Structure 1
């Protein structure tokens, strides 16, 4: 191989890649058009092949070093740029996409929420009317602790906050995912989860009220419940979306309906995971903390809920403006 002739033939590609990389490094990916981005990828492969050939032909350490530097820079821009785009997509989803899908699926979320509150009211009413009903819903050990000892059960979290917090996160995520997957039973299991959780909260609310512990109980629930309960409602809405695709595909074929409504359900799932993680941290470290005054816990819960409502509405308005 004539080294000088080979270098003269290949050098314009190296110079072109170097120029594009300098533009990328100083002005970012947005400074290139689609054709130039494809050109960078093509030139990277070409120069990488040139580097391999230069090493086998022993063309000289300086040229090999320069080609190595060029391919390293190109690799960094291509693959780190791809990762930057992925992170940008994640950021855009939580900034705009998640609030938008909440608005688009509000009817299903509202239905899931209504099922929960129907269960809550039924549980509250029957627990007041029939003491035996409570024992069917609430664990006997919890009833005994509240009635016999006159104390709530949250104190067991204090001292083991990291372990409790991770356990709470896992449990809440499992419940939410079950509510979503329940949509594949035509919504029957989703409905059961929403109603049963409402029955449980309603019966517990009666239990603590009967034993004059309602104020500290709700002080415990408010901080994390401001995110945890809406996340479960969103999960229930996702499950009902899947049920809609199965039972009432409308103008879509069943397979296409599952793809369409399933896509919205998946977006809801992606959105609720951070909510449940944050709620788990609050429930593990803040909600049961005896040092934090109860009024402050109520204010925290109220503040988080207001922020969530603003987030779900303001972002969609901003995105459309």
Structure 2
């Protein structure tokens, strides 16, 4: 290989890549247009091949070192820039995409909420009509603790907060993902999970209410429940959407309906995970803490729920004006 002729032929590409990299380093990746970004990626692959050839033919340590630096700069800008764009896409989704998905699919979320609330009302009604009903839903040892000793069970979390918090997260995520996956049973399993959890909350609420422990009970529930329960409603709505695709595909073929509603459901699931992680931390460390006064727990719970409603209602600035 004629080294000087090879260098003369390849050097314009090296200089062109160096110029593009200098522009990015000074002004950022956004200063390049789409064609220039594609050109930079092509030049990077070409210069990488040149570096390999330079090493093979021993063209000189100085040139090899310069090509190494050039390829290293290219790699950092191309792949770190790609990762930055991915993170920007994640931020944009949680900033605007998730609220838009919630607003677009509010009917399914509302139905899931209604099923859950129906479970609460049914449990409340039957628990007052027949005291034996509670034993069908609530463990007997818990009933005895509340009824006979007038104590709540949250104190068991104190002292083992990290373990309890992680266990709570795992359990809530399991329930939520099961509710979503329950859509493949035509939504029947999703409905059961929502109704059963509503029955459980309703039975517990009635039990503590009958024994004058409602105030500390709801003080415990409000801080984490303000995120945990809406997350379950989102998961339930996602499961109902999948069930709807199976039972009522509408104008779509069933396979196409599953793809369409499945992608919508997946967006809701992306909102469920961070909500349950935050709720698990609150339930493990804040809600059962005896040092924190109950009024403050109510305030935090109501405040978190208000922020959640505000977040779910937000729209991009461009959508807030009418033509």
The TM-score, its normalising length taken from structure 2, stands at 0.98
Instruction: Report the secondary structure of 2:215's partner residue.
Output: helix
Q: How far apart, in 2, do the equivalents of 1:40 and 1:139 lie?
A: 65
Residue 132 (structure 1) aligns with: 132
Whether the 8 Å CA contact 1:96–1:319 is kept in 2: the answer is: no
Cα shift readout 1:136-188 (whole Å, capped 9, x = no counterpart): 01111211111122100000000000000000000000000011011110010
Show structure 2 runs of 5+ residues with no match.
none
Residue 6 (structure 1) aligns with: 6
Alpha carbon RMSD of aligned pairs, Å?
Answer: 0.8
The 1:319/1:246 distance shift into structure 2, 3 A limit, reads farther
Q: How far apart, in 1, do the equivalents of 2:123 and 2:238 lie?
A: 24
Whether the 8 Å CA contact 2:169–2:280 is kept in 1: the answer is: yes
Instruction: Report the secondary structure of 1:208's partner residue.
Output: helix
The 1:319/1:186 distance shift into structure 2, 3 A limit, reads farther
Q: How far apart, in 1, do the equivalents of 2:246 and 2:80 lie?
A: 41
Q: How far apart are residue 320 of structure 1 and its match?
A: 2.2
Equivalences for 1:16-27 in 2 at 5 Å? 16-27=16-27
Q: How far apart are residue 319 of structure 1 and its match?
A: 5.6
Residue 318 (structure 1) aligns with: 317
Q: How far apart are residue 317 of structure 1 and its match?
A: 5.0
Residue 308 (structure 1) aligns with: 308
Cα shift readout 1:264-290 (whole Å, capped 9, x = no counterpart): 101100111000000000000000000
Q: How far apart, in 2, do the equivalents of 1:318 and 1:93 lie?
A: 15
Residue 164 (structure 1) aligns with: 164
Residue 258 (structure 2) aligns with: 258
Whether the 8 Å CA contact 1:18–1:70 is kept in 2: the answer is: yes
Residue 119 (structure 2) aligns with: 119
Residue 236 (structure 1) aligns with: 236
Q: How far apart, in 2, do the equivalents of 1:318 and 1:138 lie?
A: 48
Q: How far apart, in 2, do the equivalents of 1:271 and 1:74 lie?
A: 35
